[in-house]
């Protein structure tokens, strides 16, 4: 449970230096984000969510929008506990992603599927990890005996990812500031706007390091599971990952971004069964 160690005792969080269940206004040493317990605005706002409102009130309804209004009063950078869902008990900085990240409503179908297929001790590659929504869950699911390698090329997004890994004390997570792509080297990257849609782009204003999956598995433990959400670069990345998939047979959670036909053809040629579970997003399992 959030705020307790394995003995049921309240524990001090290393990033904010306060008891998880006590009042505090201390700041994170790296982000300047306040602990939510010391923010009266945050406490007053999230009291509306003490019951599992995501299951009681549709968030896209008028009532759902009204319920969310007080959340705007919580300052960005506030360290918030995830209230619901598989990530419950983890912490996110408000403003790093949508409020759904810490409410526990974001990408719930993806998280439930991960709970079904990930096993303790497995190696997971989180490709396009963004700020760590799935990274934190993967870390929890594979446990101390497993490892998560989280790839995120955007420098400021990777910094937020690393901060979420730090404040949640995820010792089995390694953050790698590289893009998974169709070739190894340097590539242009569009770093403007929402961190969730930043992508490799020949006309991008930034330069990032890239690497192929076939190259990565020469240097890292091979994956039992891969999550790939790389904003349109998935076809080229898969084309440069044939050895990885055919030799190690990892499970794959893939956001296709409109390239589902080409991705499916490639995966089926490698002997994978495919199931769509959230619009164009798919789960590919080796036969």
What's the average model confidence in pLDDT over 186-213?
Answer: 66
Residue 13: both structure tokens together:
């969080």
Stronger pLDDT, 71 or 253, i.e. the higher one: 253
Note the pLDDT tens digit of each residue in 10-20: 232 222 222 22
Residue 98: per-residue pLDDT? 81
Cα–Cα distance for residue pair 200/207, rounded to 1 Å: 9
Residue 40: both structure tokens together:
């009266």
Lowest-confidence segment of 1-5, 36-40, 54-58 by average pLDDT: 1-5
Residue 189: per-residue pLDDT? 65
Residue corresponding to tokens 């997570």: 173
Of the pLDDT bands very low, low, confident and very high (cuts 50, 70, 90), residue 29 is very low
Note the pLDDT tens digit of each residue in 70-118: 777 888 889 999 988 899 999 999 988 888 888 888 888 899 999 999 9
Note the pLDDT tens digit of each residue in 209-238: 889 999 999 999 999 999 999 877 888 999
Residue 1: per-residue pLDDT? 27
Residue 256: per-residue pLDDT? 87
Of the pLDDT bands very low, low, confident and very high (cuts 50, 70, 90), residue 124 is very high
Cα–Cα distance for residue pair 188/210, rounded to 1 Å: 10
Judged against a pLDDT cut of 90, whether residue 182 lies above it is answered with no
Q: Give how far the C-alpha of residue 287 lies from the chain's centroid of Cα atoms, to the nearest Å.
A: 27
Average pLDDT, the chain: 78
pTM for this model (two decimals): 0.76
Stronger pLDDT, 188 or 106, i.e. the higher one: 106
CB-CB neighbours of 147 under 10 Å: 21
What's the average model confidence in pLDDT over 120-131?
Answer: 96
Counting residues of the chain whose pLDDT is more than 90, the rounded percentage is 46
What's the average model confidence in pLDDT over 163-178?
Answer: 96
Residue 92: per-residue pLDDT? 92
């Amino acid at each position: 449970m959030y705020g307790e160690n394995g003995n049921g005792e309240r524990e001090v969080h290393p990033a904010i230096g306060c008891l998880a269940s006590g009042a505090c206004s201390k700041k994170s040493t790296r982000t300047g984000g306040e602990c939510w317990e010391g923010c009266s605005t945050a406490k007053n706002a999230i009291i509306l969510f003490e019951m599992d409102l995501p299951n009681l009130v549709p968030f896209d309804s008028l009532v759902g929008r009204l319920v969310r209004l007080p959340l705007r009063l919580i300052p960005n950078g506030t360290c918030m506990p995830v209230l619901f869902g598989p990530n419950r008990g983890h912490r996110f900085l408000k403003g790093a992603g949508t409020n759904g990240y810490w409410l526990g409503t974001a990408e719930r179908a993806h998280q439930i599927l991960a709970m079904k297929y990930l096993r303790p001790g497995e190696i997971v590659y989180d490709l396009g990890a963004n700020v760590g929504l799935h990274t934190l869950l993967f870390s929890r699911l594979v446990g101390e005996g497993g490892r998560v390698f989280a790839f995120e090329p955007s420098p400021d997004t990777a910094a937020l990812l690393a901060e979420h890994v730090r404040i949640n004390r995820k010792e089995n997570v390694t953050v790698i500031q590289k893009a998974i792509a169709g070739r190894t080297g340097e590539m242009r990257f569009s770093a403007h706007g929402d961190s969730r849609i930043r992508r490799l782009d020949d006309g991008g204003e930034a330069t990032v390091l890239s690497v192929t999956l076939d190259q990565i598995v020469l240097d890292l433990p091979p994956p039992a599971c891969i999550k790939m959400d790389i904003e349109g670069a998935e076809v080229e990345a898969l084309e440069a990952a044939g050895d990885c998939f055919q030799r190690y047979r990892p499970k794959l959670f893939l956001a296709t971004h409109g390239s589902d036909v080409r991705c499916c053809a490639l995966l089926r040629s490698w002997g994978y069964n495919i199931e769509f579970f959230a619009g164009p997003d798919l789960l590919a399992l080796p036969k």
